[in-house]
Structure 1
Amino acid sequence: MMKPTVVAILTVAQLYLSATSAFALTLKDCLTRAAVANSQLKASSHDEQVATEAVGIATSGYLPRVDLQAGYTAQQAPQAVKFTAEPIPTQQADYAFANLSIYQTLYDFGRTRARREQAIMASEAAQQAYRGEEQDVFLQVVRAYYGILAGQKYLVTADDEVKQMTHHRKVAQDMYEQGVVTRNDLLQAQVKLANSKQKRLSAANSLENSWLYLNFLTGQETGFRSELEEPEQRTETADLHMMMEIALRKRPEIAALKKTILADEAAIREYRSNYYPELYAKLAMDYLENNRVQEQTILSATVGFKINLFDGLATTSRKRQAVKIRSREEERLRNLEASVRLELETALNDLKVAEERILVSETAIRQSEENLRINNDRYVEKVGTATDVIDAQTLLTQTRNDYFSSIFDYQVAAARVKRAVGEL
């Protein structure tokens, strides 16, 4: 349970927010908007669509190919043969022609099947890669969202420090005019007030930049502002072994690499099939305008096979290249699984430490407030010094900011845990 002082500060922050917007924006709202409007994800979605169209291209190998060619030829003189002294033309000088052919692969030893399977695996890998990139964007949104919440509280703390330093300067001014303290105390109070105002300006600027970044991630106008709803602080986590098993099943990047390896295996089978012939059937209709012959249109049907006998060892090199690419992706997969484990362990450690920091900071705030009260009283009673008051106020500001920073780090670490297991 939060201490009364912390609750008071948060209440002031909420009042500050309510003045800028009439409705609350939740983290879920921001993630939904990012999924739809983020410019980076919009660009990446085309990669997924391109990979999907490649499946249609590969599947076309199962369907017949239909070609039509037509034209008109004008010659200087028709072709002729010599049977007598006078040549006999065998064609017209100018003629039209047309060709319609239907080509169908009958059997290619699995080449088309391997090519289609490769395209399907590549398409599924692209889908998983998009999900991984989407979760990276979501993590950026979480950082920006909680960065705004923390920034708002930093601003409230800065405002409180300015108020306290303004009061201290007034006290120092009155005591100086009464001849109780030297002008050094007054100058010190004035300098500290100026410093507090600068920190307040820096906090306001940082908050403004956080809003600009969140609006960029969610596709909002740069001037958009809203009240943000602060989610619950607690996050439940399982043991590392169980969470790692979840990550291996759900992490999009791991799934994408596994699909890529399957696509590489299909590519190997495709290149291996190039050593074998292709059986095909062909239907054709050829028309050649020629009034010197009886048949101007010829229909034909062909069943045959074709095979490459030598291509400069290009097929062998392509197959070896595909094998090396598969080995490379397998190494990347092992490295990614190790990286995910490291990412998960780091996030869990940061989550645990941030939780402990929250508890420590709550106590420190109460102690810092009491320390400031005592030093203010001592200064008024001419027992303490102005330096003691300023140091006490600086310490209070720092402990409050440490508390808000620990909350920010806790929420971001919780999001990083979810990202590590692929559930953000």
Structure 2
Amino acid sequence: MKPLPIRSIPFLILALCAATPAMASALSLKECLSLAAAGNYSLAVTASDRLIAQEAITQARSGFLPRVDFQGGYTLQAKPQAVNFGERGSIETQDGTYGFFNLSVTQTIYDFGRTSSRRQRASLLHEATAQQYAAAEKDVFLQVVEAYFGILEARRLLGTAEEEVAQRTDHLRIATNLFEQGVVTRNDLLQAQVRLAESSQKRLVAANRLENRWMYLNHLTGRPLDQRDELEEGTESAMPDTAGAEERAFANRPELTALARSADAADAEVSEARSGYYPELYAKAGVDYVENSKVREQAIYAATVGLKINLFEGFATESRHRQSVERLTRSRDALRLAREQVRLELATALNDARVAEQRIKSVETAIRQGEENLRINRDRYQAQVGTATDVLDAQTLLTQIKTDYHRAVFDFQVAKARVSKAMGEL
């Protein structure tokens, strides 16, 4: 079998790496965000927390409703209970076997705010959970943005790597022709072959990076890992409006709202724990039935209005109260910490966006200079007034400049998304 010429290797690599599932319709960033909102696996887990918190409200509200208890059964005794009258003998006071039941309805009349505090705390925690879901959703959205632009960046970097492979394939062709003419030494030919192999390796690494980023985006959006689409590259270069950015961040970030509600819930917990020092007023109605042929009244109906208070339970009430106070302090400290973290996140994102924008402007000119540098060195080599090393170094330099440019472009897009996320507007 005739071996493939060296110049065919890069194109063979391209064909192998392109053997992926067929491209589908173009996919926009907005569509990716919608897919993530509906199909992201971590959001599905977080959504369950909201349902759990909703049921906690129902449980807390149950304290306002009466409690109904029923108990019944059938008893078999070895001997029925009897009253001893001395020499006169004894008289049985109950049947040897009997059925019984008890039905009671208990209603709390007043408990010094214990139940209302419990319900308020559950409602606040439910709201906090909903805000935590919104925060998790925005985190996922930022990951989708990073993955989306990561694919676009990886695709551009793959194109740059392919350009370098093509350039070095052409340089190998020229070096081979010059070597065959006896104009250059074998060292030029070997150097060109080694550099082409190096570029081919870089191209494979770039293709692998693109493949991995596609799988990550599909994971975030809940799609099959092997699905591929054409992504829209329409990107806006302008920064989002950042007027009053810090105030907007404090007002819009769901994490801060969630922590504020958690602090309010901790305050309600303190009120609930404090109510443990106070009595509880209740009403109770019920019927006790015991099957007994020896007595006249087998069913006893009763109604009670009572007061109950715990006098001592091993300092548990005091401990619960101190514990709730510490939780309140921790919640308020966590809110202050989160506000400072938001301030830092916003400042960092704004700085990264500004720097990336400056990088784009500085590298744009360098690309044209790098292309001209490569052209000059290539012409000098063909005219035998330059070296092969000069050509290869110029190719490497141009590849690096283009790589820096593409990374700056997409770093800017991601930084803009981070700014929007930091302001709670992603």
CA distance in 1, matches of 2:238, 2:39: 28
Superposed, 1:188-207 pairs within 5 Å as 188-207=191-210
Instruction: Give me the TM-score of the superposition, normalised by structure 2.
Output: 0.93
| 1:73 equivalenced with 2:86 (yes/no) | no
* Displacement of 1:219: 1.2
Contact 1:99-1:284 at 8 Å conserved across structures: yes
Selected match of 2:124 from 121, 129, 132: 121
Root-mean-square deviation (Å): 1.6
Selected match of 1:149 from 147, 152, 164: 152
Contact 1:284-1:300 at 8 Å conserved across structures: yes
Contact 2:24-2:228 at 8 Å conserved across structures: no
In the alignment of these two chains, the number of paired residues is: 408
Contact 1:372-1:392 at 8 Å conserved across structures: yes
Match of 1:216 in 2: 219
CA distance in 1, matches of 2:349, 2:413: 11
* Displacement of 1:199: 0.4
CA distance in 2, matches of 1:360, 1:263: 52
Contact 1:176-1:186 at 8 Å conserved across structures: yes
* Residue identity in the other structure for 2:253: R
**Structure 1: segments with no counterpart, 5+ residues:** 1-15
| 1:94 equivalenced with 2:97 (yes/no) | yes
Superposed, 1:17-96 pairs within 5 Å as 20-83=22-85, 85-96=88-99
Selected match of 2:269 from 267, 270, 289: 267
CA distance in 2, matches of 1:51, 1:418: 29
| 1:252 equivalenced with 2:278 (yes/no) | no
Match of 2:229 in 1: 226
| 1:178 equivalenced with 2:181 (yes/no) | yes
* Displacement of 1:274: 1.0
Match of 1:288 in 2: 290
Instruction: Give me the TM-score of the superposition, normalised by structure 1.
Output: 0.94
* Displacement of 1:133: 1.4
3-state SS of 1:23 partner: strand
* Displacement of 1:17: 13
Please list the CA deviations of residues 289-332 of structure 1 after superposition, one character each: whole Å capped at 9, or x if unmatched. Answer: 11111121121111111000111221111111111111111111
Superposed, 1:328-343 pairs within 5 Å as 328-343=330-345
Contact 1:109-1:273 at 8 Å conserved across structures: yes
Match of 2:13 in 1: none
CA distance in 1, matches of 2:205, 2:24: 26
* Displacement of 1:20: 4.5
Please list the CA deviations of residues 363-418 of structure 1 after superposition, one character each: whole Å capped at 9, or x if unmatched. Answer: 11111111111111111111111111111111111111111101110011011111
3-state SS of 1:194 partner: helix
| 1:423 equivalenced with 2:425 (yes/no) | yes
CA distance in 2, matches of 1:87, 1:154: 104
Please list the CA deviations of residues 97-132 of structure 1 after superposition, one character each: whole Å capped at 9, or x if unmatched. Answer: 011111100011111000000111111111111111
CA distance in 1, matches of 2:398, 2:22: 27
* Displacement of 1:142: 1.1
**Structure 2: segments with no counterpart, 5+ residues:** 1-17
Contact 1:20-1:227 at 8 Å conserved across structures: no
Please list the CA deviations of residues 214-254 of structure 1 after superposition, one character each: whole Å capped at 9, or x if unmatched. Answer: 111111111110011123232433446x1111111111111
Match of 2:384 in 1: 382
CA distance in 2, matches of 1:119, 1:274: 18
Please list the CA deviations of residues 150-183 of structure 1 after superposition, one character each: whole Å capped at 9, or x if unmatched. Answer: 0111111111111110000000000011111111
* Residue identity in the other structure for 1:138: F
Deviates more, 1:224-233 or 1:400-409: 224-233
CA distance in 1, matches of 2:31, 2:261: 32
CA distance in 2, matches of 1:194, 1:296: 100
CA distance in 1, matches of 2:220, 2:96: 70
Contact 1:80-1:90 at 8 Å conserved across structures: yes
Match of 1:277 in 2: 279
* Residue identity in the other structure for 2:378: N
Contact 2:21-2:226 at 8 Å conserved across structures: no
Please list the CA deviations of residues 330-359 of structure 1 after superposition, one character each: whole Å capped at 9, or x if unmatched. Answer: 111111111111110010000011111111
Please list the CA deviations of residues 39-84 of structure 1 after superposition, one character each: whole Å capped at 9, or x if unmatched. Answer: 1111121122111110100000000001111100000011111236
Match of 1:301 in 2: 303
Match of 2:170 in 1: 167
Contact 1:125-1:260 at 8 Å conserved across structures: yes
CA distance in 2, matches of 1:53, 1:68: 24
CA distance in 1, matches of 2:146, 2:271: 45
Contact 1:17-1:226 at 8 Å conserved across structures: no
Selected match of 1:348 from 347, 350, 353: 350
